């Protein structure tokens, strides 16, 4: 379980990094349009999130109340970024940042505290 707690902390750090980037750029749209720094950093963080979530123990996933399909989705995003970097759908990335990461963050924080 200790290793999974470290993984959860790492994912929360990656989410925090994305939030900081979006804040500094004054919005998701601006952050994703910065092809030099912000977009690559966000995509790398999402890649790391997908990779790390995929390594969590199934019991941990169950305790966090995260759907296995969400873990699979995060890993699919990781694969898409890693294997088709230039073809990444920025609309999908924007949706992930705005809608899915806040929920994931909440579940991970709740799981950390239990």
Give whole-number Cα distances, 64 to 41, 45, 85, 96, in Å.
Answer: 26, 21, 30, 19
Average pLDDT over residues 50-56: 97
Average pLDDT, the chain: 95
The answer to whether residue 114 sits within a structural domain is no
Q: How confident is the model at residue 81 (pLDDT cuts 50, 70, 90)?
A: very high
Domain count across the chain:
1
Q: What's the pLDDT at 32? A: 98
C-alpha dihedral (70, 31, 36, 12), degrees to nearest 10: -40
Q: What's the pLDDT at 50? A: 98
The answer to whether residue 113 sits within a structural domain is no
The answer to whether residue 89 sits within a structural domain is yes
Q: What's the pLDDT at 33? A: 97
Q: Is 101 exposed, middle or buried (0-12, 13-18, 19+ CB in 10 A)?
A: buried
pLDDT value at 112 more than 90: no
Q: What's the pLDDT at 61? A: 93
Q: What's the pLDDT at 114? A: 65
Domain containing 30 equals 2-108
């Amino acid at each position: 379980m200790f290793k999974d707690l470290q993984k959860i902390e790492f994912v929360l750090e990656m989410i925090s990094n994305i939030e900081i980037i979006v804040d500094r750029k004054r919005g998701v749209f601006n952050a994703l349009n910065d092809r030099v720094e912000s977009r690559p950093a966000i995509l790398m963080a999402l890649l790391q999130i997908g990779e790390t979530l995929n390594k969590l123990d199934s019991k941990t996933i169950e305790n966090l109340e995260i759907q296995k399909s969400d873990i699979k989705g995060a890993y699919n995003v990781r694969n898409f970024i890693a294997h088709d970097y230039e073809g990444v759908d920025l609309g999908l990335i924007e949706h992930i940042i705005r809608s899915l990461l806040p929920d994931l963050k909440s579940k991970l924080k709740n799981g950390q505290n239990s």
